[in-house]
């Protein structure tokens, strides 16, 4: 993966991102000296500040964000599976969704002071918060490339789950995804519609409800359950995760 080096200072808004200060702060965040500083520098370049190289290639953190997102999901899935043996699949999915939500990652990035090193041309406002969580995921992607999965997993568990996130608070937070999606939709004047179908499962000998959630006529979620309420919540969870990932819910 091509990277951009901070051999010269790079302007970040009205401040200057200094290479020496960056590496010092990065070592403090990671707990060790990075082996490939350039890949970490790329992790903090938002697409609004994309660098175009002489060969025409563009440098920003989107690919690293994609990689980090997948690794974070894998580590969280394993961690929750091992540490919560009595939790159902649905409960594990909900808990993972809360831990990896855009709001959680944004706050976590701010707590870790990652925001100080992001290079972007976005004006500071509520909608710009998404770039902090994106940068955190990109940092995890860079760490994976530099040190591999085992080291990245250790960093996520030790320095994120145990140092920064109050797991008990997250676990004990009941989330009504349908209400949250509707509150978001009302605020932005979105049309939210549930469509239902009911079928009889002869194997299970019970009725199964399928719910499709549409926002402005676009499908955002689908869920199945033994009741309309259960199907609605599953569809709402999918929709919540989608709009959360897009940075629409703070």
Taking the chain (250 residues) in consecutive chunks of 10 residues, what is each chunk's mean pLDDT?
40 51 88 90 87 75 95 95 86 84 86 87 63 94 97 92 71 71 89 92 82 95 88 90 71
6 vs 14: CA distance, rounded Å: 17
If one counts every other C-beta atom within 10 angstroms of the C-beta of residue 58, the result is: 12
Q: Which of 69, 146, 176, 230 is catalytic?
A: 69
CA distance 206 to 199: 9
Burial bucket for residue 125 (CB in 10 Å: 0-12, 13-18, 19+): exposed
Greatest alpha-carbon pair distance for the chain in Å reads: 69
Task: Show the tokens assigned to 117.
Answer: 């090193």
**How high is the pLDDT of residue 193?**
95
Domains of the chain: 10-171 (1.10.1520.10), 177-245 (3.30.160.20)
The verdict on whether 69 is a catalytic residue reads: yes
Amino acid 175: pLDDT = 64
Catalytic residue (one of 41, 65, 134, 137): 137
Known active-site residue 18 = no
pTM above 0.75, yes or no: no
> How much is the pLDDT for 117?
85
* β-bridge mates for residue 195, sequence order: 212
């Amino acid at each position: 993966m091509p990277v951009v080096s901070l051999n010269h200072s790079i302007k970040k808004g009205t401040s200057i991102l200094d290479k020496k200060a960056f590496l010092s702060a990065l070592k403090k965040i990671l707990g060790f000296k990075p082996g490939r500083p350039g890949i970490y520098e790329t992790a903090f370049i938002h697409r609004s500040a994309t660098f175009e190289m002489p060969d025409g290639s563009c440098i920003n953190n989107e690919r690293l964000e994609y990689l980090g997102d997948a690794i974070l999901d894998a580590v969280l899935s394993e961690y929750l599976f091992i540490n919560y043996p009595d939790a159902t699949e649905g409960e594990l999915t909900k808990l993972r969704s809360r831990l990896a939500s855009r709001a959680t990652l944004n706050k976590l990035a701010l707590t870790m002071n990652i925001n100080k090193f992001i290079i972007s041309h976005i004006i500071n406002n509520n909608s710009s918060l998404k770039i902090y969580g994106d940068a955190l995921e990109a940092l995890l992607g860079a760490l994976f490339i530099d040190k591999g999965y085992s080291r990245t997993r250790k960093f996520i568990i030790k320095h994120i789950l145990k140092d920064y996130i109050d797991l008990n608070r997250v676990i004990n937070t009941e989330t009504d995804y349908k209400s949250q999606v509707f509150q978001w939709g009302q605020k932005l004047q979105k049309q939210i519609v549930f469509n239902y179908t009911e079928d009889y499962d002869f194997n299970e000998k019970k009725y199964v409800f399928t719910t499709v959630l549409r926002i402005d006529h676009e499908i955002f979620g689908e869920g199945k359950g033994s009741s309309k309420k259960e199907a609605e919540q599953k569809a709402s969870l999918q929709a919540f995760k989608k709009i959360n990932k897009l940075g629409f819910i703070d």
